[in-house]
Amino acid sequence: MDTDLCLFYQLFEALEDEEDDVEEEGFRAGTILATLAVCAIEAHTLRTARRKPRRLYLCRPQLPWNPRGITPWQVLYASRNDRAFITTMGFDVATFDAILGAGFAEAWYTTPIPRDDTSNNSHARPHGRSLDAAGALGLLLHYLSSTMREVSLQQIFALIPSTVSRYITFSLQILLGVLRQLPAATIRWPERLDDYLENNELIVARHPRLTGAFATIDGVNLPCQTSRDEEIENATYNGWLSEHYVHTAFFCVSRLAQYLYRNDHWCES
């Protein structure tokens, strides 16, 4: 009996020692995990602090809270001023409205914006978007007609970087579809072989090695006087050449001559 009792006590003490070892190992494991978590948090904090000086974009606290409220874009759009529209977007008010009415506005309000975190079969939610159709077209034309940095677009339209990028990509697709349906935006090639040959003869007479060409296009910088109007002065100033120019492109074929001009702040495009 004494022997059995002694064995029982020995077994009980062995079990207690094992439980102590398990508790100690669990405590050590928990301590290691906590240490790793603290180190990871500290490393993330340090990386964020190092990146902040290099982050060249604005966040929501630095922007107007409502993109459809009082923003530089809303003030510009409400002005309905042809000169202001042409300076910033390259089109007058009538042309801007024509593009909106030709299908851009309808597509903006009825087509869902593709996103990685939503289904492609979802319905459009135009009232949940930061910009209406006019704002989306204005954002895209600002992007296409100038060399400004994206942070300037954020300030003008009160949008965060991801929204600017997503709206520009989506609006480009809409604008391309609209322009393909507009007769005034159509580029037509000569329809008959005789027209090709006739146009090519005119070019070969001046440039003998350009066989097969049927039209010519060229761009020139036309010097202009410095305007007293600050907006026009800024639009015609070329930073590379340190002078004021109107950038003009000439496109010619037989019996047809067209030209366009585009003013860029810093360089030709």
Closest listed residue to residue 153, CA positions, set 170, 135, 126 = 135
Q: Which pTM was predicted?
A: 0.59
Sign of the C-alpha dihedral computed for residues 171, 176, 179 and 181 taken in this order: negative
Around Cβ 213, how many Cβ atoms within 10 Å?
14
- Residues forming a β-bridge with 260: 249
- Residue carrying the six token digits 């790793």: 36
pLDDT tens string 136-159 = 999 999 999 877 778 888 888 988
pLDDT tens string 24-35 = 666 566 666 767
Closest listed residue to residue 171, CA positions, set 137, 215, 200 = 137
Sign of the C-alpha dihedral computed for residues 6, 10, 11 and 12 taken in this order: positive
Q: For the residues of 70-112, what is the DSSP string, one character each?
A: S-HHHHHHHHT-HHHHHHHHSS-HHHHHHHIIIIIHHHHHHSP
Instruction: Give yes or no for residue 267 having a pLDDT over 50.
Output: no
Q: Which segments of the chain are extended strands (E)?
A: 216-223, 237-238, 243-253, 256-262
- How do strand 216-223 and strand 237-238 relate by DSSP bridges? unpaired
pLDDT tens string 85-121 = 988 998 999 999 999 999 999 999 999 887 665 656 6
